[in-house]
């Protein structure tokens, strides 16, 4: 794999974008707040706008045209403003290129990623000292011609520029002393030239690369092997800038006499249809990712925090509100919300509340799973999506229900959008991720030790009358969600502005009926027997259907209903969505009619 320098590290300043180019291919380079450098195709997947015109918010790059957002590291699309309620398919992903930082330069390659090569080859000459990049010099000439000219570049050793009396003011000259500097081209390797200038024991090495921008455009990127002493550092930088600019002028003059080669035509590969649709999850609950427990800690009195780092492939991007399936050593599968802020893809963080009375998922995580253990997880999936277009966003958390809301709050904070978070807990010791909550300052309010009645009253005071575009997100125990929905309704909050996520479905499931399910697209009719779910019947006939919680809480196994009466038994759909009668959760809901027709 061939690496080319595309920028100086210092070019990627705080929250800016940088327009890079290799062999005719335009790239956007940007540094996230966690110091990760991204090098992507300089096109938004939506309308092809240059992403260099976009906004780097420190965690995501937002296209200026229609506001599509792409996550740090993965370039996965996290948000489409025209569809705020729909999660973009997590596989909608911009094209990324290999990138590395070395010797004060940013490096990239437009060739396919070659495993095991994390950056350009190391040069002993630059490994030892304190390599100092020169000002890059753009040359309108073919790269090979620029490299030829560079092989003849002559300069003074840094010490000669800095130590001679009056030398700092004399950076323009290249003067040989009596007998001459010992200047030589040490090595020429296609677009790289290594030069040496010496004055007795004082010697300076310069390694210069020619960045092949296009057929007729190049950038000289030179790196000195050592940082010139402080007082005359600028004189040395100016010395090279002056001499290399003259070299550029000569090369450009020469190049102007010759025919200008055609710009390199690059192929922009469109995103495949499969990648731009919803991800194919396949039948059942898949756990394609492996993670290692990097850290386990007490995130509250009864909550264990887990930091899960990737094993092998990097972790996919996710959206605020997303959850993963965690496959436990005891065979159980449980869903946990990611608490991460936007663009944090080096690890996933979850919080697990100990529920000794439950079927053993949380007990297993609290007591058996240790740091260093490897677990299987699903890719993140989001059925609790956050709108970034509202003027007021209220986040109501009951206990451990705060986890998806923490991700939302960090996302809103990162985008500079206001929010109000209210955490209802027994007392301070039971507030999960208290430190993170504290970091929200006045935006987060704790409510301690309230009875259900007091909680409902408090929620009423918090919500007040509905104002234009205000949105409410609530996650917590079932009674709290039910109370919130009722209070919001009484205060005139429209149903579509109230978003909720249950941990579990408290409904007593009736699975005593039998009915037919006709699949309109598959041309197949199935019989659902008592004690069997629609989902199980589908799977028994090899129909692909994703699922996650399988208890009517998460919304993953949603199917469109074309005909028939539905017996809704989930806690995912809103009242009006149920009343519309055009969709159902196949894991718990059934038919009250003899026959259902599904759009499958």
Partner 1 sequence: MIKLYNYELSANCYKQRLFLSILGLDYEAITIEFFPGMEHKSEAFLEINPLGHIPVLDDDGFMVRDAHAILIYLAARYDPSGRWYPTGDPGLLAKTAQWLLFCEGTTSTASAARLHDSLHYDFDIDAVRAGAHRLFRVADEHLWFAEQEGYDWLVPTDHPTIADLALFPDVILSEEGGVSRQDYPALHRWTDRVKRIDGFTPMPGIFFAAPART
58 touching partner 1, by CB under 8 A: yes
- Least Å distance, CB 412 to partner 1, is 15
Which range binds partner 1 by CB under 8 A, 55-63, 285-293, 350-358, 555-563?
A: 55-63
Name beta bridge partners: 446. Answer: 423
CA angle 194, 198, 202 (to 5 degrees): 120
DSSP 449-502: S--HHHHHHHHHHHH-S--TT-EEEEEE-HHHHHHHHHHHHHTT--GGGEEEEE
Work out the widest C-alpha separation in the chain, in whole angstroms. 105
Give min distance, CB of 356 to partner 1, in A. 44
Q: From the CB of 15, what's the least distance to partner 1, in Å?
A: 4
Residue partners of 16: CB distance under 8 A and separation at least 6: 30, 56
Min dist CB 18 to partner 1, Å, is 7
Give strand pairing partners of 303: 300, 353
Does 37 help bind partner 1 (rule: CB under 8 A)? no
How far is Cα 107 from Cα 231, in angstroms, rounded to an integer? 30
Supply the minimum distance, in Å, between the C-beta of residue 194 and partner 1. Answer: 24
Residue written as token pair 């906004």: 55
Pick the closer one to partner 1 by CB: 54 or 555. Answer: 54
Q: Which of 39, 44, 45, 55 binds partner 1 (CB under 8 A)?
A: 55
| Residues within window 122-181 making contact with partner 1, judged by CB under 8 A | 135-136, 138
Of 15 and 172, nearer to partner 1 (C-beta) is: 15
Residue (185 or 245) nearer to partner 1, CB = 245
- Could you tell me the smallest distance in angstroms from the CB atom of residue 165 to partner 1? 22
Residue written as token pair 């709290």:
480
Q: Does 19 bind partner 1 (CB under 8 A)?
A: yes
The span from the CA of 248 to the CA of 405, in Å, is: 56
Coil, strand or helix at 540: helix
Shortest reach from residue 53's CB to partner 1, in Å = 7
Nearer to partner 1, 33 or 482 (CB): 33
Over the window 411 to 430, marking each residue x when it contacts partner 1 by CB under 8 A and - when it does not, the resulting string is -----x--------------
Give first-to-last CA distance, the chain, whole Å.
Answer: 45
> How many residues bind to partner 1 according to rule CB under 8 A?
26
Integer Cα distance of 442 and 437 in angstroms = 10
16, 117, 330, 513: which one binds partner 1 (CB under 8 A): 16
By the 10 Å C-beta count (0-12 exposed, 13-18 middle, 19+ buried), 97 is classed as buried
Binding track, positions 219-238, relative to partner 1; x by CB under 8 A? x--------------x--xx
- List Cβ neighbours of 374 (8 Å cut-off, separation of 6 or more): 290, 291, 292, 293, 311
Q: How far is the CB of 593 from partner 1 (least distance, A)?
A: 55
Q: Where does this chain bind partner 1 (CB under 8 A)?
A: 7-8, 11, 13-16, 18-19, 21, 53, 55-58, 64, 135-136, 138, 219, 234, 237-238, 241, 245, 416
């Amino acid at each position: 794999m061939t690496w080319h320098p595309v920028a100086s590290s210092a070019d990627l300043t705080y929250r800016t974008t940088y327009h890079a180019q290799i062999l005719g291919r335009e790239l956007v380079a940007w540094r996230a707040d966690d110091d990760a450098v991204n090098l992507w195709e300089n096109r938004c997947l939506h309308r092809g706008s240059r992403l260099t015109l976009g906004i780097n918010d420190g965690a995501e790059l937002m296209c200026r045209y229609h506001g599509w957002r792409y996550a740090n590291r993965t370039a996965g699309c996290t948000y489409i403003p025209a569809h705020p309620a729909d999660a973009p398919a997590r596989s909608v992903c911009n094209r990324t290129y290999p990138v590395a930082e070395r010797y004060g330069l940013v490096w990239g390659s437009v060739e396919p990623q070659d495993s095991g090569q994390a950056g350009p080859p190391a040069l002993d000459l630059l490994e030892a000292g304190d390599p100092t990049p020169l000002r890059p010099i753009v040359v309108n000439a073919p790269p090979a011609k620029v490299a030829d000219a560079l092989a003849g570049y002559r300069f003074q050793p840094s010490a000669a520029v800095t130590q001679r009396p009056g030398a700092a003011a004399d950076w323009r000259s290249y003067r040989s002393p009596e007998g001459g500097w010992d200047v030589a081209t040490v090595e020429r390797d296609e677009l790289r030239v290594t030069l040496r200038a010496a004055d007795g024991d004082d010697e300076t090495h310069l390694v210069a690369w020619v960045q092949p921008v296009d057929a007729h455009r190049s950038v000289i990127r030179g790196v000195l092997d050592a940082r010139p002493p402080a007082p005359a550092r600028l004189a040395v930088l100016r010395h090279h800038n002056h001499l290399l600019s003259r070299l550029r002028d000569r090369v450009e003059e020469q190049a102007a006499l010759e025919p200008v080669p055609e710009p390199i035509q690059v192929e922009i590969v469109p995103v495949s249809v499969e990648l731009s649709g919803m991800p194919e999850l396949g039948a059942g609950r898949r756990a394609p990712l492996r993670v290692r427990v990097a850290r386990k800690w007490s995130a509250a009195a009864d909550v264990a925090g887990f930091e899960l780092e990737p094993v092998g492939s990097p972790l996919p991007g996710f959206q605020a509100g997303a959850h993963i399936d965690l496959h436990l050593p005891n065979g159980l599968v449980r869903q946990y919300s990611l608490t991460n802020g936007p663009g944090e893809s080096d690890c996933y963080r979850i919080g697990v509340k100990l529920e000794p009375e439950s079927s053993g998922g949380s007990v297993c995580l609290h007591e058996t799973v240790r740091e260093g253990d490897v677990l299987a997880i699903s890719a993140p999936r989001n059925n609790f999506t956050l709108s970034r277009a509202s003027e007021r966003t209220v986040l109501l958390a009951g206990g451990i229900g705060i986890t998806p809301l923490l991700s939302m709050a960090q996302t809103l904070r990162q985008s500079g959008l206001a929010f109000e978070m209210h955490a209802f807990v027994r007392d301070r010791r039971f507030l999960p991720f208290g430190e993170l909550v504290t970091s929200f300052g006045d935006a987060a309010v704790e409510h301690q030790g309230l009875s259900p009645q007091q909680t409902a009253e408090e929620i009423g005071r918090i919500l007040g009358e509905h104002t234009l575009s205000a949105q409410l997100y609530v996650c917590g125990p079932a009674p709290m969600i039910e109370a919130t929905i009722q209070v919001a309704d009484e205060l005139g909050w429209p149903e579509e502005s109230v978003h909720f996520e249950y941990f579990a479905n408290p409904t007593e499931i009736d699975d005593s009926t039998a009915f037919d399910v006709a699949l309109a697209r598959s041309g197949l009719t199935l019989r659902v027997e008592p004690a069997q779910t629609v989902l199980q019947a589908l799977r028994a006939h090899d129909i692909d259907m994703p699922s996650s919680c399988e208890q009517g809480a998460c919304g993953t196994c949603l199917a469109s209903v074309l005909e028939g009466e539905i017996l809704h038994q989930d806690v995912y759909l809103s009242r009006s969505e149920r009343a519309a009668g055009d969709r159902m959760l196949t894991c718990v809901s059934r038919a009250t009619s003899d026959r259902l027709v599904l759009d499958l």
